[in-house]
A and B are shown apart, each in its own frame.
Chain A
Amino acid sequence: MADLNETIHQPVRLRTMAALVTLKPDEEVDFTTLRNLLGVTDGNLGAHLRKLEEAGYIAVNKTFVERKPHTYISASTEGRKVFAEHVAALESILKNK
């Protein structure tokens, strides 16, 4: 049985990963869109994204679109894998209750 992942289990990071793994592997989401989806502040999301990026679960791509800075975020292959393991661990807790 896979263990729960402490980095991912924090509520905002859990919802962030849920949103990112819903996208196709070749898709990435704009910071503002993700912030609006999650209903959190810029600072709050930024802090949680840093934790996920440091863990290697997401990729953060800073670029310019029509001369304006944009930040795009996507789940990494490792991020998708550990998220799936975390979900499996949650499900096994429910099955064994």
Chain B
Amino acid sequence: MNISPSEAEEALASIQAMMTKTRRAISSSGAYIFLIIWGIIWLLGFLGSQFLSPAITGYAWAVLDTLGGILSAVFGIRMGHGVRSSSPFLSGKRIGIFWLLNFLYCIAVVAVSWPTGGKQMAMYIILFVMIGWIAMSLLISFTSIWPGLIITVLALVGFFLLPGIFYMWMAVLGGGGMIVLGLYIRSRW
């Protein structure tokens, strides 16, 4: 079978385009969507915590977290739809149960240490979300471990060394960083 160089070039371009389309549509690289969603939520929520009164901030976080949960569920279902894996680690049901337990353990820790300040509570949530992220990365995609570790270190630096601007720190570096990372992963894939 013989083809011209231009036909070969066309075929390779077609392969590349299809691979990119597949990765974006159905492969696990779709995780960038969650980074962008939660990056926006952290950006808005932590900016609110820095500049608004605690009463308003509490409601804002409740609305933002609910919105984030709904959007994550919708995108998660859409991502998982159409592709299945024989690996038991990648079962959507197990991942869902893991995140539910992670959430319940976070509530338990907050309850045990109550009364607790806003910054401590924010740190509990950040640490539980990040340990969940890292655990999933270890099972699904090892390279995804780095954003989790970097955000954890940034959060700890802000909490211990920059308490006066902790919320602002988390909004820009935590939320902003997640958005930039999400956009970077999307463009790279």
Q: How many residues of A contact B (CB 8 A)?
A: 30
- Count how many pairs of residues, one from A and one from B, have CB atoms less than 8 Å apart in the complex: 86
CA gap between A91 and B13 in the complex, in Å: 11
Tell me if B22 counts as interface (CB < 8 A to partner A).
yes
Say whether chain A's binding surface is mostly helix, strand, loop, or mixed: helix
> Bound state CA distance, A9 and B4, in angstroms?
13
Tell me, yes or no, whether B53 is within 8 Å of chain A by CB: no
- Chain A CB within 10 A, most for which of B9, B11, B23: B11
- B153 is an interface residue with CB less than 8 A from chain A: no
Distance to closest chain A CB from B98 (angstroms): 19
Other-chain residue from B1, B8, B23, B25 in contact with A6 (beta carbon distance below 8 A): B1
Chain B residues closer than 8 Å to A38, beta-carbon distance: 18
B84-92, B110-118, B125-133, B165-173 - interface stretch:
B84-92
Contact (Cβ within 8 A) A19 B1: no
Q: Which 6 A-B pairs have the closest CB atoms?
A: A33-B82, A97-B5, A18-B18, A93-B8, A22-B22, A30-B82
